[in-house]
Amino acid sequence: MKKAACVCLVCFSLLLLCGCSEQKEQSITVFAMDTVMTMTVYGGDNKTLQNLTQEVQRLEGLFSSEKTGSEISLLNQNGSAELSFDTCELLRQSLEICRMTDGALDITVYPLTKAWGFISGDYRVPDEEEIAQLMSLVGYDKAWLKDGAAWLKGGAEISLGSTAKGYTGAVLSKLLKDEGISSAVLDLGGNIQTVGSRPDGGEWRVGVKSPDGGILGVLSIRDMAVVTSGGYERYFEQDGQIYWHILDPKTGYPADSGLASVTIVGSDGTLCDGLSTAVFVMGRERAQELWRQWGGFEMLLLDSEGTIYITEGLEGSFEPESGLEVLVIKSEG
């Protein structure tokens, strides 16, 4: 599951810290946004941790599709809603990623995700007729945003789960920097947001988890987000077939792109979060073209054959485990 993987990432990175610091290390663990979050801060005081927790809970109360009374649940229920700044901003950025990826990320797949049981945990394989009916509700162009209000067309519903934790990481990072904190690592359930550098001035070393439970390698970063997605995070098996939670918005079925996991690295946590899902849907070839066209992020792709591909911006920053093959994606293919 994604939340288990993220804990491994942070623990691994912290174990690799070397040297001592006079800055006080503080850590807090909370359950929010359907996952376990562990936030470790160097400096500050108990109030700093309280502020982080309160901000996570506040944002969850705005963004959740399942919490009664949240802005997104009210939007889904009524087809329109007035939105706060944060919900507007997250929805705006999410729709931009939908357009950027030509719908490989689509926030309106929520009814399909519910039908497969990935929200309730009551897993099932919908029949073709049900899939076809629900597909009529899918299409990010059914969501409109203007002047602090949003509308949904034709019974569409949305979920911002594919981008909410990335946005939350960015908000928390700014909160800490505004309080004068220059060193922190935030594990937000599969999303790692680093703030500044390690207390000793070095780079954070973040382990990238393999679908088999091991480690693909280590990323050395500072002041960046690292988000990993894969079919192994949440899935069920029926009649010998595995079905995972990342759905292809073009088919209504679990994505089958030849990728086993995707890790996105960049300064924009929301973008990294959304692209980790979109790239898994797109597959390597389309993802390479997306990266060459847009830039602004780096990626590590593990295909179903066990080969690792990294974009050239990660050369020198990624140390693979011994024996793993790594191929570099160049900006000019």
Range of weakest confidence among 64-73, 129-138, 316-325 = 316-325
Q: What DSSP element (H or E) covers 310?
A: strand 308-311
Q: What is the pTM of this model?
A: 0.92
Q: How far apart are the first and last CA of the chain?
A: 34
- Please state the rounded mean pLDDT for residues 143-155: 95
Which pLDDT score is estimated for 137? 97
Which pLDDT score is estimated for 14? 36
Are 159 and 113 in contact, with CB atoms under 8 Å apart? yes
Residue 144, pLDDT > 90, answer: yes
Homologous superfamily of 66-152 in CATH? ApbE-like superfamily (1.10.3980.10)
Q: For the segment 286-305, what is each residue's pLDDT rounded down to a tens digit?
A: 999 999 999 999 999 999 99
Which pLDDT score is estimated for 8? 42
d(CA 27, CA 45): 10
Work out the angle between the directed axes of helices 85-100 and 269-282 (0-180°, nearest 10). 30
What's CA 150's distance to the chain center, in Å? 23
CB-facing half-sphere around the CA of 264: CA atoms within 13 A: 30
Please classify residue 226 by burial: count the beta carbons closer than 10 Å to its beta carbon, then call 0-12 exposed, 13-18 middle and 19+ buried: buried
Identify the bridge partners of residue 38 per DSSP, sorted by sequence position.
Answer: 29, 187
pLDDT band at 108 (very low <50, low <70, confident <90, very high): very high
Residue type (1 letter), 42: Y
Fold category of 2-61+166-329 in CATH? T-fold (3.10.520)
Query: Which letter does DSSP use for residue 69 in this model?
Result: T
Query: Which letter does DSSP use for residue 322 in this model?
Result: T
- Provide Rg for the chain, Cα atoms: 19
pLDDT band at 190 (very low <50, low <70, confident <90, very high): confident
DSSP helix/strand/coil, 263: strand
d(CA 67, CA 65): 6
Are 272 and 100 in contact, with CB atoms under 8 Å apart? no
d(CA 156, CA 165): 22
- Specify whether the backbone of 314 is left (phi greater than 0), alpha (psi in -120 to 50) or beta: alpha
Domain ranges of the chain: 2-61+166-329, 66-152
DSSP helix/strand/coil, 232: helix
d(CA 16, CA 11): 9
Residue type (1 letter), 27: S
d(CA 95, CA 314): 27
The encoded tokens of residue 125 equal 């394989």
Nearest to 226 by CA among 276, 191, 275: 191
The strand pair at 298-303 and 308-311 is best described as antiparallel
Which pLDDT score is estimated for 22? 62
The encoded tokens of residue 239 equal 């009649």
d(CA 124, CA 195): 40
Q: Is the dihedral of CA 107, 111, 116, 117 positive or negative?
A: positive
Q: For the segment 320-330, what is each residue's pLDDT rounded down to a tens digit?
A: 998 888 999 99
Nearest to 185 by CA among 1, 37, 59: 37
